[in-house]
Amino acid sequence: MANDTNKFQAIISHCKEYGFIFPSSEIYDGLSAVYDYGQWGSELKKNIKDYWWKSMTQMHENIVGIDAAIFMHPTTWKASGHVDNFSDPMIDNKDSKKRYRVDHLIEGYAEELKAKGDTQNAEAVLAEMDAFLAKDDFEGLKKLIEDHKIKCAISGTSNWTDVRQFNLMFSTEFGSTVSSDGEDNKVYLRPETAQGIFVNFLNVQKTGRMKIPFGIAQIGKAFRNEIVARQFIFRMREFEQMEMQFFIRPGSQKQWYEFWKEERMKWHLSLGIVKEKYRFHDHVKLAHYADAACDIEYDFPIGFKEVEGIHSRTDFDLRNHQEYSKKKMQYFDNDLDENGKPYGNYIPYVIETSIGLDRTVLMILSEAYTEEDLSTEERKDNRVVLKFPPKLAPIKLAILPLVKKDGLPEIAREIMNDCKFSFRCFYEEKDTIGKRYRRMDALGTPFCITIDHQTKEDNTVTIRYRDTMQQERVHINTIKAIVEKLIS
C-alpha cells in the first residue's frame, strides 16, 4: 500500500467492483453524496444493524426499540431547535461561487500545514478556530481565514464573502398539513432519528411500563443538506443512524454519561478492532441541546474521524416538546431519595448514543481491506482480502464443487440446502477453484468448502479458512457446527 489516500481510493473501487456500494443513479452520472448499497454491501450493512440492535436491546433488559416515521409534525423541529439552530457557519468564494463549511476549510488548511511539517502552526490555527466557534464569532473566523490567506481549491483565490449560518435540513411539501396558526406548513426530512424517540417517550414508557433508567433505541434514515459532502459514504446527504436515548433522573447525568462512554467503547472493541484505532474527542462547541458531548473517533485511512457521538442532552428535548405540544412529558418516580421521600414528578434527563451506520460500514471496510503479497520465488502473486469479523461477513460459507460433473454439484446442493436456513451461503461452480477462492476472499467470505471426488468416498470436504488460507478435511456432518461456532 503506497499511502492511506491510495487505500481509501482502493476501498472505493473495490466496493464498486464487488457489488458493495454504487454511486446513486449512476446511469445519470450519480447524485452528489448519495450512494446505493449493492448485493453484498446491503448484507454487510444489515449484519451491522442486527449486531447493534441486539447488543442494545436484547443485551440490555431496560432498552427497547422502536421504528418511527421519517416525516414528523413540523413543530417537532421548532421544539427541537433544529429550525433555528441546525446550521453551520459557511463561507462562499466569490470567484468560484463554491460554498465551504468554515471549520472544514480551516481544518483542510491545518492539514496542509501538517503535511509540510508545520504542526505547531497547524495546532495554533485549530485552537484559534475552536475558540471563535465556541463564541459564534463569525468576524473572528473570517479574519482567521484572511490572515492565513486560505484559498479556495477551485478558484485559487482568497476572495471570500462574510461567514453566515446555513440550515442543513431538507424540506418538502406535505399536502394537507396545517400548522396551529393556520398556515400551510412545510415538512422536513428528519435530520436525526432522535426526535422520533422523544415524541414517543410517554407512549413507550406507559405501554412498556418502563422504569427509569431506561432506553429507547432506533435505527433509521436521516437527511442533511451537507455542504462539503465528499469522502464517499463518510459524509452523505441521506444516511442511516443507530441512536439510543437513555432516560435518567436529573442530576445523574455525569454518571450515566461516563457509563455510556465506556459501554459504547466496549462495543467498538467487540468488533475485533484494537483500542489504538479509537480515541475520544471532547466537543469544544456543544450542540444546542447538550451539557457534555464527545465523539468516538476511528482511525480511517483519511485520518481519525467521528463514528459515534455520545451526548448528555439534559431535559432540553422533552422540556421543549412539553412546551410546544402542551402535553406533559413528566415521569412519576416513586423510588425514595436519600431522605426517604419519593423523587416524584420530573422531566427525565437524557444520555444519547448516536452512531452512523454508513460510517460504521466504512470503518469495518477500512479495517477489513487488506492487500497481501503472496509471491514465492517461482511466481508473483497477490490477493485482496476483506478480513471481516465472521459475524458481519455478507456471505458466511461458499460451497464449491471442484468440477461441474461426476455427481459433485448434487452433493454441493445438498449441503447448500442443509445450511441455507442457518446462515448466508453462496454456491458457485464456474471457474477454477483458485479463482473462486480469490473471489470469495475479495467478498470477505470467511469459509469455503470444496466438494471433490474423495467426498464421494468418505463424506469429507475441504474447508478453507479465509485469513490463513489453511485447508483441512472435515466430515460433511460437521460443516454447519464449525461455521456456526465461528460466526456466533
Using CB under 6 A, list all residues that contact ligand GAP.
192, 194, 224, 226, 235-236, 239, 241, 243, 306-309, 352, 354-356, 358-359
Cβ atoms of residues 154 and 98 within 8 Å? yes
Q: How far apart are CA 345 and CA 76, in angstroms?
A: 23
Q: Cell numbers 473501487 correspond to what residue?
A: 13
Q: Please state the φ and ψ torsions of residue 185, each to the nearest 5 degrees.
A: -125, 145
**DSSP secondary structure code for residue 347 in this structure:** P
As given in the structure block, the three cell numbers for residue 343 are: 423523587
Nearer to ligand GAP, 224 or 464 (CB): 224
Q: How far apart are CA 367 and CA 362, in angstroms?
A: 8
Cα–Cα distances (Å) from 151 to 88, 159, 396, in that order, read 20, 8, 49
Nearer to ligand GAP, 249 or 313 (CB): 313
Distance of CA 355 to the CA centre of its chain: 5
Closest Cα partner for 423 from 394, 386, 450? 394
Q: How far apart are CA 361 and CA 240, in angstroms?
A: 11
Nearer to ligand GAP, 310 or 392 (CB): 310
Nearer to ligand GAP, 298 or 331 (CB): 298
Nearer to ligand GAP, 241 or 460 (CB): 241
Least spacing, CB of residue 149 vs ligand GAP, in Å: 29
Name the closest residue to ligand GAP (Cβ): 356
Other Cβ atoms closer than 10 A to 40: 23
The count of C-alpha atoms lying within 13 angstroms of the C-alpha of 403, restricted to the half-sphere facing its C-beta, is: 8
Cα–Cα distances (Å) from 230 to 12, 23, 59, 105, 358, in that order, read 12, 12, 36, 13, 14
Least spacing, CB of residue 233 vs ligand GAP, in Å: 7
Q: How far apart are CA 19 and CA 41, in angstroms?
A: 7
Least spacing, CB of residue 199 vs ligand GAP, in Å: 14
Least spacing, CB of residue 115 vs ligand GAP, in Å: 25
Q: How far apart are CA 208 and CA 211, in angstroms?
A: 9
Cβ atoms of residues 188 and 169 within 8 Å? yes
Nearer to ligand GAP, 7 or 313 (CB): 313
Nearer to ligand GAP, 282 or 373 (CB): 282
Stretch (H or E) spanning 454? helix 453-458
Partners of 139 in beta bridges? none
Least spacing, CB of residue 133 vs ligand GAP, in Å: 15
Nearer to ligand GAP, 192 or 452 (CB): 192
At position 65, the amino acid (one-letter code) is G
Q: DSSP of 40-78, one letter per residue?
A: HHHHHHHHHHHHHHIIIIIT-TTEEEE---SB--THHHH
- Three-state secondary-structure class, residue 442: helix
Least spacing, CB of residue 192 vs ligand GAP, in Å: 4
